[in-house]
Amino acid sequence: MILCIAGFPGSGKTQISNYLKSKGFFTISFGSFIKEELSKHNIAYTAPNVVSVSLYFHRTGKDIQLAQKVLSVLHGSGCVNQVIDGCRNRREYEYIKEHELSDVYLVGVDCSKKVRYERAKKRRRFVGLTENDYKERDKREKNYGLNELLNSAEFRINNNGTKDELKSQVGKLLGKLNDKVKRYKNDG
C-alpha cells in the first residue's frame, strides 16, 4: 500500500510521514529530490533556490521525472507499506497510480494558513520567510495544481490541532485502510 500525502507547506505532511515511519512504513519525499538537484549543481538550499528548481520541474513538465525517481526508490525499498510525502499535482499522482501494482491512496492534509505560518516560523527551515512570502508560496503551490489534487483526495486529515490529535486521526485512517484492504481481499 502506498499513501501519497498532499498538502500546503506547513500543513503537517512530514509529521504524518514521520509518524507512519515509526509504524513501519517506508517514507520518501518529493522534496528530497529537489534538495538532490540543488546539491548536484552546488546550489545553496535556500527558499528562493528551492522555488526556482521546483518551478523548473513543473513548468517544463519534468515533474513526471520526479515521480519516476520516487517510484524507483519505492520499488527498491522492499517494504510493503510506503508513504510519499509532498505530491503536488494530479500528473504526479496519476503517474504513480498508473505505474504501481500496490494500492495507492491520496491523503489530503488540511490546515489553516495562520497555523501553517506559525509552524513555519517555529521550524525555522528558511530563516527570514515572511507572511507575504508564505502567501506567494501558497499561490505557487496552487499553480502547480495542488488545490485540484487535494479536492480529489480519497481521505482528508485536519491538522489544526495538536500532534496527539494528528496521530489519532492517522491511526483512524490506518484502521479504515486496513478494513478496506481486508474487504478487497475477501471479495477478490
Q: pLDDT band at residue 13, thresholds of 50, 70 and 90?
A: very high
The H-or-E segment that residue 155 falls in is strand 155-158
What is the chain's mean pLDDT, rounded? 89
Mean pLDDT of 155-172: 96
Judging by beta carbons within 10 Å of its beta carbon (0-12, 13-18, 19+), is residue 184 exposed, middle or buried? Answer: exposed
Domain locations along the chain: 2-178
CA 157 to each of CA 6, 47, 126: distance values in angstroms, whole numbers, following the listed order: 10, 26, 25
pTM of the model: 0.90
Give the span between the Cα atoms of 186 and 27, in whole angstroms: 28
Give the span between the Cα atoms of 39 and 143, in whole angstroms: 25
Strand locations in 26-102 (E):
26-29, 82-85
Q: At 61, which amino acid appears? A: G
CA 130 to each of CA 47, 79, 117, 121, 184: distance values in angstroms, whole numbers, following the listed order: 11, 39, 9, 9, 47
Mean pLDDT of 2-21: 95
Q: What is the pLDDT, as a whole number, of residue 98?
A: 94
pLDDT tens per residue across span 56-106: 998 898 889 999 999 999 999 999 999 999 999 999 999 999 998 789 999
Q: What is 2-178's CATH number?
A: 3.40.50.300
CA 6 to each of CA 44, 91, 128: distance values in angstroms, whole numbers, following the listed order: 25, 13, 25
Among 12, 10, 8, smallest CA distance to 164 is for 12
Cell numbers 517494504 correspond to: 79
For 6, which DSSP code?
E
